[in-house]
Amino acid sequence: MKLYNLKDHNEQVSFAQAVKQGLGKQQGLFFPLELPEFALSDIDGLLEQDFVTRSSRILSAFIGDEIPEDELYQRVKNAFAFPAPVAKVEEDISCLELFHGPTLAFKDFGGRFMAQVLTQVSGDQPVTILTATSGDTGAAVAHAFHGMKNVRVVILYPRGKISPLQEKLFCTLGDNIHTIAIDGDFDQCQALVKQAFDDEELKYELKLNSANSINISRLLAQICYYFEAVAQLPQEARNQLVISVPSGNFGDLTAGLLAKSLGLPVKRFIAATNANDTVPRYLHSGEWDPKKTVATLSNAMDVSQPNNWPRVEELYRRKTWQLKDLGFASISDDTTEDAMRELADIGYISEPHAAIAYRALRDQLKPGEFGLFIGTAHPAKFKESVEAILGQELDLPKELADRADLPLLSHNLPADFSEMRAFLMALPK
Ligand SMILES: *Cc1c(COP(=O)(O)O)cnc(C)c1O
C-alpha cells in the first residue's frame, strides 16, 4: 500500500511507515494512493461472510501484500474480538452499537487494530505512543497497549473535561501507561501533540508515534464495521440507507465514506456535530471559520478544528463527489437531551453522542429511506449525565465497575510545550 502526504504529494510512504510515523512532513495527513473498489457482485459475497473474514478482505484490499493475508486475518481476529450489533430503534431507524469492546466505545476497533499492526511493523523496537484524547481514544489506546513489551503510552487529556468514569477507565492502569491531565481544552492537547511531532530531537529520542484517529491503521479498521452494519440490515434497506455519524475529529465519518468508496451501498451520510459546528457552518457557507471550542454534553465531540477533515475533502475530490451531497446538522445540548428522552420513551437508552446522530437522522430522513445512526459509546460511560437527563439509574457494566474505585494515577501539567517536553524526556526509558 502506498500513501501520500496531503500537504506534499511527493512524500509517499508504505503502510508500515504511515502507521509508524502517524503524520507526514508539515503535519500532513497520509491518504491512500489507490482507492480500491469492489464489484457489486463482490459486495454481495462479502456481506455474507462473517465479520472477521470480511474485515480482513476489506483491509487487505487497502494494505495489499505488505501484510500476508493469513497474518492479517489473525491480527483482525485478535483486534475485533467483540460484536458490533445493529439494534432496531424504530421501524425505519436502527443503531449500530459500537460499544461492546473493552472500553465501551467505537475507538476500541481502531485502537486494538492499530496495536496489532504496530507490533507487527515495529518488531522489537521500543516506541512511545503519544496521543491526545477528548475521552474515548485514550481509553481505547491505553487498554489496547497496556502491558505490551517495548511500547510506552503517553496520553494527554483536558483536565475536568472528560466524564469521571471515562477518566477512571484509562487513568488507573499504570505500568506502561502514563496519563497527563492538561489545564486546557482538547484542541490545546492536540496542539501539544502536534508540537511534539515537530520536535525532531524529541521524536528521535522517544521514537514517537501517534495513535490519534489520524493514524491510518485506525481509520482503515473503522471501515469494517460499516460493512458489518449493512450485512445485518434487511435487504430492502440497502439502497435506501442514510447513515448519521456523530462527529468530532471526523475519523468515523471518513471511514464511512471510505466504505462507500469501496462500493458499500449507502445513499448518503449525515455529519452530526454538537455546538462545535465548524464543519456544518463550512458546508452551509463555504467558509472555514473555527471558533473557540465549547464544552458540551457530548464531550468526545468537543472539537473545533477537526483533524480528519482534509481527508474527507480529498476523498470527495478523488471520487468527484460533491460536498453539497453530504448532510449536516449541529445539535444543541437542549435538543440532545430531548432526543435522549424521546429515545428512552420508545425504549432505547442512549447517551449524548449517539443521540445527536439520532436527532439529525430523524430530522432529515425521507419517506422510503432507511436510517442508521452510529452508537459510539455505551450509555454507562456517561452515567452522571444520562441518569440526570433520564431520571433513571443505569447499571455499570463490568468494565467500568471494576475500575470505578481505583485511584487516578494522572499527572497534571499546564498547556505548555516546554513543561510537557521536560516530562516526556524524564520518563523512565
Ligand atoms: C471519538 C468519539 C466521537 C467522535 O468521533 P470522531 O471520529 O472523532 O469524529 C463520537 N462519539 C464518541 C463517544 C467518541 O468517543
**Residue matched to cell numbers 474480538:** 81
Half-sphere exposure for 225 (CA within 13 Å, toward CB): 37
* 354 SS3 class: helix
What averages of pLDDT result for each successive group of 10 residues across the chain (429 residues)?
97 94 88 97 96 98 95 96 97 97 94 91 85 86 91 95 89 96 93 91 88 85 98 92 97 98 97 98 97 93 94 98 98 98 97 98 98 96 94 90 93 97 90
Ligand 1 pocket member 377 (CB < 6 A): yes
Tell me the CA–centroid distance for residue 403 and ligand 1, in Å.
22
% pLDDT > 90, the chain: 82
**pLDDT, position 248:** 96
Ligand 1 pocket member 136 (CB < 6 A): yes
User: Bridge-partner residues for 93, per DSSP?
Assistant: 90, 371
| Cα dihedral 179→133→169→339 (10° resolution) | 160
| 340-399 confidence digits (pLDDT tens) | 999 999 999 999 999 999 999 999 999 999 999 999 999 998 998 999 999 999 998 988
**pLDDT, position 315:** 98
Tell me the CA–centroid distance for residue 376 and ligand 1, in Å.
6
Cβ 110 vs Cβ 80: under 8 Å: no
The minimum-distance atom of ligand 1 relative to the CA of 254 is 7
Which helix (H) or strand (E) segment holds residue 246: the answer is: strand 241-246
Ligand 1 pocket member 300 (CB < 6 A): yes
**pLDDT, position 242:** 98
Crossing angle of the two packed helices 186-198 and 417-425, in degrees rounded to 10? 60
Ligand 1 pocket member 213 (CB < 6 A): yes
Tell me the CA–centroid distance for residue 414 and ligand 1, in Å.
25
